[in-house]
Amino acid sequence: MEIRTLGCAPYLPTYQAMRDFTAQRTPDMPDQLWICEHPPVYTLGLAGQTSHLLAPGDIPVVPTNRGGQVTYHGPGQVVAYPLIDLQRAGYYVKEYVYRIEEAVIRTLAHFGITGHRVASAPGIYVRLDDPHSHERLAQRPQKGAGGPGSTPDFTGLGKIAALGLKVSRHCTYHGVALNVAMDLEPYARINPCGYAGLQTVDLSTIGVHTTWEEAADVLGKQLSIRLAP
């Protein structure tokens, strides 16, 4: 996989470039991983409801064709866009989501933080009272729990990484955003991922002080490992 670090990149041109890359792909083109951060922007998924935009103010709102509801991108966040041919890689979308989440969990572990999955709520979460705790969540995905239509339980948790994906002709774009050291105030102006009151955190607010570059490097390496065929 070719890793491209784009630095601070405006959202709309990056979004269009992903669509163009995917539309022009041929079976022999290598996969790529784009890593960047964006100036402040709210993005709406295909199911996005404007009612979840509480007070966007001067932050632009961009409708997109990814899955999910509304989320925020801004400085201090590592955004990773895997451009993967799933048919060639040999796994399906559900496995792809699991692998991305696993890459985030391993990235957090590098910084001494335990990341958790929550049933029916894609993304990665941390315990607010003890981000280092390895105790398993009652809310974790497990047999007979969760599923379409069920309400996730975010009690005691903060969201530190969000996923929003699109697959076209077996090829992926959009991706995952990991919060490193951000101004988190814009999250208070939306219902993050469509959930009223969901607390959003970053590494700095749970006691991890690192650079955007280090976090981007670790996440990029983990994604390249976990998304391999």
Alpha helices (runs of H) in 81-139, residue ranges in sequence order: 86-89, 93-110
Look at phi and psi of residue 51 and say left if phi exceeds 0, alpha if psi is from -120 to 50, else beta. Answer: alpha
Q: Is 193 a catalytic residue?
A: yes
Alpha helices (runs of H) in the chain, residue ranges in sequence order: 11-23, 86-89, 93-110, 212-226
Residues forming a β-bridge with 176: 80, 163
- Maximum separation of any 2 CA atoms in the chain, in Å: 48
**Active site residue: 8, 36, 171, 193, which one?**
193
- Walk across the sheet containing 171-179 and list its strands: 2-8, 32-37, 77-83, 171-179, 157-168, 121-127, 116-118
Tell me if 176 sits within 8 A of 193, measured CB to CB.
Answer: no
Give the whole-angstrom CA distance, residue 16 versus residue 8: 16
Catalytic residues: 193
